Structure 1
């Protein structure tokens, strides 16, 4: 380690933490050496099928390899979803899975000397005598071939032959390109130590799921294995795990279909409270309630919209979890009430590390209940976090999850709206090596028992689950909101993610796009970065361009280290302040669109931010594009990612594309150049879309016709979802869905609306703005209303017909 890096680490951790982090590293290394090394074992692979057994929706195969017996179960859960379980180990604990009932899938079983085949209406699985497996689509096109797996002691390896055109996505949080092939990645949730840049691997949230797009079709593979592992992507896909059953799910279909099926399996995200889709502001270093109030007052002073302020660890009493410092925050409830009066929600950070302190209530209760992770000798494992020596709740124990969930009630009583889970890989600070506890640290694992090799990747997920269940219990009328640094498969059920301690560089600004997109393709639709970067100081231009990008990401927050200069919007002066204000106003104008996308995600599991290939998965020219993205299916965002640049090229998917700021139309597929200014981020609207915008008390519907609609008569829809913004509907009176359709009939553009449920329409009226074509007037439910400057005002309607001039 360089001297400068050492000094920076000491400055970030604080001199008083040097002894605990030194002893933390020593304890970690000492206990790691106590893990019994795996004895040399021969590699075992299936070699011959000796028997088969029919299952309700599948087949069990028994293979032999010398004196070893290896079982394989192939079970269809849906017509295009199949689960394959190798080996004789216990199945994984179902932490990743939602309530999921397999369907009775009608199968055609075919047997020959060359293969045993199971066919549904959508997928064909062929099991070869040596344990190889081929997956084919309904047209008998080979999607992928799995080679026979290899087992060595507790470890397993599965290799798949990839198509030459295959692009691979997902794998959770990665500091790599959108297409992860070629590359090698670890499945090991990791604290990066305060800052990371391009290529850093692993990061905080590793999810063993990959979505593959190729010329012969697309598919998804989810390895349900939480052990430390890795995946290598080259001519083949090679997944390795250090223990546990080799179980994976194979899902065939379009990218949209496979991701929807995957989130049906691992759980759909809940519709968030609407405020969570607004702007969040944070900084590590706000030490008092007075500072928080001053920041809130300045947002009002400078007319900057904001939905939440996050309070970092300085609110705690000696960094003890679930405490509030009585001197620096003497009236937390009063503070949160004042902020709520200004429509600002309060979010507080919570770390899992519990200070070793016999006078501390949580430590006392945890010791009495046996709630902390233990050493192999049975004593609580001691690591180091912000309070110094700490112990770690064992969230794989149901009793611990119940106990931890109870702690949130106090913060709810203080008016806290959201919770920010940090350091939950879990991190144990160390003077050298990985920031983690020992691999030998023991976990209950629902009574099954195991060590950190199996449980580490689950830790953040289960902390989030515990907190979520606590809020649902104590505040059933409100939707929980959690932000988490770590997680695993299924985390979308409980929490959002952010990309951690990212460097403040132009390279990491660009990296943010691919990282957020791959999290979305791993089932996590809500993610974003610390705007401007967490570590070091961005230039005003870099901060502005990052702010413009973040305004179109699902999660929009500014946050930074206490070692960086302040970056509240007003600190940049003019003209940056005015541009930031306009960017914030655009975010809030887009709220009807964002909230409707969130509703769609709750129903389908689809991400809000999507790669360009989402529009046309058959176009290989889009498979690797990671400098632009879609927000929903209507908005194409092409951020400025280089210093001093005022134009950039954009690869357009097929169709018509309108400039968000003008009526200029571009036609894809094509690569075009867009000019811009410091004030603007290049953004295009897809032809055939209706973009809803919130303007004061009015709803503006920007209508973008498509040449394709005109020639084919097809229609495009906007699903506009509305409710009170929080809580859970008890009936049709609590929500509504307005569906708007575009179509051409007899050369005239028709806009129709269909309503479901009866929640009051939350706008005073509707402003229709027609883009790209001209009309003199419109027939609104038969009544002629003239257009002025391409726009008209109306109330709710059923049908609108635009009449061309002349």
Structure 2
């Protein structure tokens, strides 16, 4: 594919496979450059970023010189556009200009998706999306009291665009995709129906353009570009991962799950290395080592892990790229030069993570990447039998640190999750366990796909709210899948419990119904486990989790098929409906139901108190209700959805039809 330039009366068009990508006219220049004047405030992973650009130049004149386009203002070259193949590079020539705003051509009614992992909106049309990895916030809705409280307490309320994993990539319903190949701060702006604007905080903006006949082709191309994940291990898709963080008593609680008939593949104890109590709730100690705190919390851990392994149950842990000042590893890391430093002296740069300070491990330094992968993830975790972990955080790199490689922290910030993923993948590979040991991340950016085998959707509130509740994990999986992430899952039961928000029995039941139809099913006790219901709090909840864990395990052959598809084509396990039915424009905005592969359609109940919901069945063939066996014609239906029987349909012609039909028996319907 090659970009081609065509003269127009007062400008030019750049086309790819017959589709206009860039349209420059005297009254509507394709490129604007300016000088940036940013203001950046960070508090505990929450950022306030503002810019007051000045001296903007909108060059209207143009001329083609050899293989480049010169955009001129008053006869002087202001910017240069180069294009080769399907790549496009724009450079600001004027001295001191470090903002480039590029207007890509838009057509009336064009739909837009992408932006990395978005939590609030699958379709991006009509909104701005700053691309900056950060805490997504608590509440994420400026009209709610919870968001207002969290904003007042530390800029922690968030907004619709905040994401652990943003990515400057968008797809359009003309089946084009545009990727900004830069880690700098940027903004995807789709508020103008006449243009798709990308604002880059850089002197050079390089774009990669993709075109395909259908959305599946675009997803295939993007997954190939960013790198495809290894297939998930059999154990991860063959049963539920039970999250417990009660020290050694977690093992006794695990037995209750097993006795209830749960299909359990692993126990996940994020508190394996010790805990501390804070006003936010029970936090981990942030010292990833088998030491005094680990021995106190989990005596004889290595032996307990071996005993579980003999029963085909894995033990999973937790790590993040920070080390607490009061932990055993801090001094070792400081002595080895493994921390980011302050800009004004050689002191370790410390970050307040909420009542305790930590050093930031400097992953721009090769020796440090090797040290963390070998010393911590290798010797302290993999070598004692830990089969996987939550690789948490990655979004917190401050913009005023001094980095070993001399790079600008404003540019390194978005790259940080990718470096963190590389370190985890390096540790797994060093023990020959790629495709067996499994780590999962919430933070990401362009290129994380090549290293991180599994996403999780971050820290949802324990409720049904529109912008921070159970439904956001569907949007997260669908949006991330479009830019090359094959596998996503969530904290079954939610995580964040603050200011009186606690789990209800209904929420825990509905989350089970949703989690069973993700490639990995994993529960979480949340940030305040003592204040909230857990899946083993009552017999009914324990039975609910057990039933849906068996459904998840029953679908393992289908999940393996989806893993094979992901390796071959890059298609994600959970897919927006339009991915397979691109001719049905009404599906472009659907984000509350999804295709699990091509053959299962899942419409989870994500509204509190609902006992029925509207379901869209696409295509031209009937869909069969998994629980009743009733066939439904394509179209819009109001479907009964009592607790225990969410709307799930399958294609009767699927080669997995008998497997799907067997779910009702497994569930006990």
- Alpha-carbon spacing, 1:539–1:233, altered in 2? closer, same or farther (3 Å): same
Counterpart among 142, 149, 166 of residue 206 in structure 1:
166
Supply the distance in 2 between the matched residues of 1:39 and 1:677 (Cα, whole angstroms). Answer: 52
Please say if 1:620 is aligned against 2:585. yes
Q: Name the residue aligned to 1:184.
A: 128
Q: Choose from 77, 81, 96 the match for 1:72.
A: 81
Backbone CA RMSD of aligned residues: 3.0
Check if 1:43 corresponds to 2:1: no
Q: Does 1:305 align with 2:263?
A: yes
Q: CA deviation at 1:263?
A: 1.2
Greater C-alpha radius of gyration? 1
CA distance in 2: counterparts of 1:373 and 1:281, whole angstroms: 38
Cα shift at 1:172: 1.6
Residues of 2 paired with 1:486 and 1:553: CA distance? 19
- Counterpart secondary structure, 1:164: coil
Mapping 1:762-773, distance limit 5 Å: none
Q: Does 1:570 align with 2:536?
A: yes
Per the alignment, residue 150 of structure 2 pairs with: none
User: For residues 272 and 638 of structure 1, what CA distance do their matches in structure 2 show?
Assistant: 24
Distance 1:233 1:688 in 2: 40
Q: Which residue of 1 aligns with 2:273?
A: 315
> Distance in 2 between the 1:187 and 1:40 partners?
18
CA distance in 1 between partners of 2:355 and 2:235 (Å): 32
User: Post-superposition shift, 1:266?
Assistant: 0.8
Q: CA deviation at 1:64?
A: 4.1
CA contact (8 A) 1:190 1:204 kept: yes
Partner of 1:418: 388
Shift of 1:503: 0.9
Deviation of 1:52 (Å): 3.6
Deviation digits for residues 249-271 of structure 1 (CA, Å, limit 9, x no counterpart): 11111111111111111111111
Q: Which secondary structure state, in structure 2, belongs to the residue aligned with residue 243 of structure 1?
A: coil
Distance 1:154 1:481 in 2: 40
Structure 1: runs of 5+ lacking an equivalent: 1-25, 54-58, 77-81, 90-149, 427-435, 693-699, 704-766, 770-806
Is 1:168 aligned to 2:112, yes or no? yes
Map 1:468-617 to 2 at 5 A.
Answer: 468-476=425-433, 479-495=436-452, 496-507=454-465, 508-536=469-497, 537-564=502-529, 565=531, 567-574=533-540, 576-617=541-582
- Residue equivalent to 2:218: 258
Q: Which residue in the other structure is 1:222 paired with?
A: 179
Which structure has the higher relative contact order (CA within 8 Å, separation 6+)?
Answer: 2
Q: Give the corresponding residue for 2:352.
A: 384
SS at match of 2:121: coil
Secondary structure, counterpart of 1:587 in structure 2: helix
Structure 1 window deviating more from structure 2 (481-490 vs 653-662): it is 653-662
5 Å-filtered alignment, 1:706-717, equals none
TM-score, with structure 1 as normaliser = 0.67
Instruction: Give yes or no for the alignment of 1:85 onto 2:89.
Output: yes
The CA distance in 1 between the partners of 2:179 and 2:476, in whole Å, is 19
Deviation of 1:517 after TM superposition, in Å, equals 0.8
Q: 1:63–1:70: 8 Å Cα contact kept in structure 2?
A: yes
Give the C-alpha shift of residue 297 in structure 1: 1.4
CA contact (8 A) 1:501 1:534 kept: yes
Where 2:102 maps in the other structure, the secondary structure is strand
- Report the alpha carbon displacement of residue 577 of structure 1 after superposing the two structures with TM: 3.7
TM-score by length of 2: 0.79
Q: Write out the 4+ residue segments of structure 1 that deviate beyond 6 Å after TM superposition.
A: 26-29, 37-40
* 1:159 matched residue in structure 2: 103
Instruction: Give the distance between the partners of 2:354 and 2:288, measured in 1 at CA.
Output: 10
Change in Cα spacing, 1:379 to 1:85, as seen in structure 2 (3 Å) is: farther
Kept after mapping to 2: 8 A contact 1:166/1:212:
yes
Which residue does the alignment assign to 1:461?
418
Aligned-partner Cα distance in 2 for 1:51–1:155: 23
Superposition deviation, residue 287 in structure 1: 4.2
* Structure 2: segments with no counterpart, 5+ residues: 1-39, 143-158, 276-284, 665-669
2:402 is the alignment partner of 1:450 = no
Cα deviation for residue 39 of structure 1 reads: 10
Contact 1:313 1:319 in 2 (8 A): no
